Structure 1
Amino acid sequence: MAELMSEARVACRTPAEGRDGVTNIPTWKFEILRSAILDVLREGEIAFKDLKNLAGAKLNKDELERLGSLGWHVTTVKLELEVRGEVERVPDRMPQVIRLGRAA
């Protein structure tokens, strides 16, 4: 258990106003999902509802098994990427559509 506590982590924030919470996830999870999400978005805008499956298709079987809840982790990393400006929501599109941000 001590090994899990000492594992390097990334603080994932949310862009939503009024929400101060930070979720810390292991760096390796953040990096593989960041890479997968950005790869998917380099192909163009996508509906957020499709992100889990498209990003998951970029991961190998071992990564998927070690990751845990794919949907939860994809959403957590996507929100942090929004805060960083690497991903942005397309304005006035419902359901939510995302694309690469200026910082990507």
Structure 2
Amino acid sequence: MSDQDMIVALHPDPAKQGTRVTKATYDSYRAALLQVIPAGADGVPFTALRELVLPHLPAGLSATTSPGWWTTTVKLDLEARGLIERVPGSKPQMVRRTAT
């Protein structure tokens, strides 16, 4: 796999390093997450994201990847890039798209 096929998924904590991941898989999970995370004030529970993204992934991708790991990794990257945010004070953790 060439370096062009890889990207660094960022982490919202600047003290932590990003993770090198395959761009194609990242793009699939990114698109799925942005489809299921609402922009509304309430957001969606983080714990529900894994199940919510599955129907939005290309056929067979969830069988060849670890959906829980990818959902968490891409969610953290989207937070670091300012595309989504944690709803302050929510328990369990809720996430929503930011108004960009």
Under a length normalisation based on structure 1, what TM-score does the superposition of the two structures give? Answer: 0.83
Q: How far off its partner does 1:22 sit?
A: 1.4
Match of 2:21 among 16, 22, 25: 25
In the alignment, is residue 51 of structure 1 matched against residue 37 of structure 2?
A: no
How many residue pairs match? The answer is 98
In the alignment, is residue 97 of structure 1 matched against residue 100 of structure 2?
A: no
Letter paired with 1:94: K
Taking a change above 3 Å as real, the CA distance of residues 100 and 43 of structure 1, as seen in their structure-2 partners, is closer
What is the root-mean-square deviation in Å for CA atoms of aligned residues? 1.8
Distance 1:92 1:27 in 2: 33
Stretches of structure 1 lacking an aligned partner (at least 5 in a row): none
Distance 1:41 1:30 in 2: 16
Match of 1:85 among 67, 82, 87: 82
Letter paired with 2:44: I
Q: How far off its partner does 1:5 sit?
A: 4.5
In the alignment, is residue 37 of structure 1 matched against residue 21 of structure 2?
A: no
In the alignment, is residue 70 of structure 1 matched against residue 67 of structure 2?
A: yes
Stretches of structure 2 lacking an aligned partner (at least 5 in a row): none
Taking a change above 3 Å as real, the CA distance of residues 89 and 43 of structure 1, as seen in their structure-2 partners, is closer
Relative contact order higher in (CA < 8 Å, ≥ 6 apart):
2
Match of 2:9 among 9, 12, 22: 12
CA offset digits 1:61-94 (Å, max 9, x no partner): 322223x111001100000000111111000111
Q: Is the CA contact (8 Å cut-off) linking 1:7 and 1:26 kept in structure 2?
A: no
